Chain A
């Protein structure tokens, strides 16, 4: 099993640019989670999907952030426009409903200059 795959692993962009982070969950998993990790705030849940439907987006910091899951094998997290305070490591995780064990990708390290 390939695990949760995230791309890119590193992204450097300038303030104001659009950033798109991608995630491929483990095949057969029907829940998908996006997290942000910073030194100051630790690990924060941004949004999670169940069966491709957003269930809870209360952690999304503001309207500049959006997430989609068009099918069971792909999700994106978009930031438009990006700001320096968005610099963080973004993780995607997936699980099978009811198992409450999440499997994490390796993360995307985002730097907004």
Chain B
């Protein structure tokens, strides 16, 4: 079956630091990959996505590249802000699972001023 493994948090960084949150996946088909973000007290919202190998998703300064050879979709940002403090979820979806989302456990990011 499908599964997503992401680095355990919490991750604490200073403002303007470089961020990497690792994510690897196992899928039986050819999945689409996603990063969702959950700000305190809110629901999850889509941050970025990639639908095929070598695609790069990007949004709000965040990037992630779909690497089929390493089954990875690591999230990066060159300079984090305090407002980026949130929980980040890696997820996948494919036809074999009727397009249900399979989520990782989430990584809590705290950015200090």
Chain A residues proximal to chain B, CB less than 8 Å: 4, 31, 33, 42-43, 45, 48, 55-56, 91, 93, 95, 97-98, 100-107
Contact = CB atoms under 8 A, between A and B. Distances in A.
A43 B49 contact: no
A12 to B, nearest CB: 17
Contact of A98 (B42, B89, B99, B105): B99
Interface of B: 32, 34, 41-46, 49, 89, 93, 98-101, 103, 105-106
A100 B32 contact: yes
26 contacts: A4-B43, A31-B99, A33-B100, A42-B103, A42-B105, A43-B89, A45-B100, A45-B101, A48-B100, A55-B98, A56-B98, A56-B100, A93-B43, A98-B99, A100-B32, A101-B34, A101-B46, A101-B49, A102-B101, A103-B45, A103-B46, A104-B43, A104-B44, A104-B45, A105-B43, A106-B42
Contacts of A106: 41-43
